[in-house]
Amino acid sequence: FMNGEPGAAGRPTKMPVALVDLLAAHQLKESILLALWQRDRTGEGSHVHVSLMASAVASLANQASGYLCAGVVPQRMGSEHPSICPYGTAFDDREGQPLILAVGADSQFRTLCEVLGCAGLADDERFATNVARVAHRAELTALLAERIGARRRPELLEELRRRKVPAGAVADMATVFESPQAEALVLRGEGGEAMGLRQVAWRVGAEGAAV
């Protein structure tokens, strides 16, 4: 229900990957490791059960907490965060290249405003705190969109990175696999052709060598 664009016209949207299947696989992996650890300690075996439903519900995180603790039923908000702003909204630069902000602290918001040349917004009572920004989300989004729309994404993201404001470019699949981190996960044949993707992303060892 939560995934999709806001408003009456926004229909529920399925995720483009089988994320719950992947989450269930991680739950299964962890439970198997614990069962093996218990066998080593006690000599007893275990029956492991993991369901897609339980894995999905266990992963609802802050959305579930908002409902269970405050009775708030989450609504579709696109990529926006229900209780942090600006966090998750996609903005376009002057060339139409999208980027995402993940501003989770008032100090980060103040720095963002300085970078965008609108430092006064950080002192505006509508935006001075996160609670106020969430309450005036639409107004703030419009103001930020205007400022970001006058900049080029590469230079803006570099300045935000340097000033420690969390932000990132929205990348298509081709761009993702141009990065060394993604390329390292590609399984290739003897001739160098791509054959698939490694599903294990962690690394171990003193030098971080993949195993």
**One-letter-per-residue 3-state SS of the chain:** CCCCCCCCCCCCCCCCCCHHHHHHHHHHHHHHHHHHHHHHHHCCCCCCCCCHHHHHHHCCHHHHHHHHHHCCCCCCCCCCCCCCCCEEEEEECCCCCEEEEECCCHHHHHHHHHHCCCHHHHHCCCCCCHHHHHHCHHHHHHHHHHHHCCCCHHHHHHHHHHCCCCEEECCCHHHHCCCHHHHCCEEECCCCCEEEECCCCCCCCCCCCCC
Q: How far is CA 59 from CA 10, 71, 79, 204, in A?
A: 23, 18, 17, 26
> Are 80 and 10 within 8 A, CB to CB?
no
Q: Distance between terminal CA atoms of the chain?
A: 38
**What is the set of active-site residues?**
21
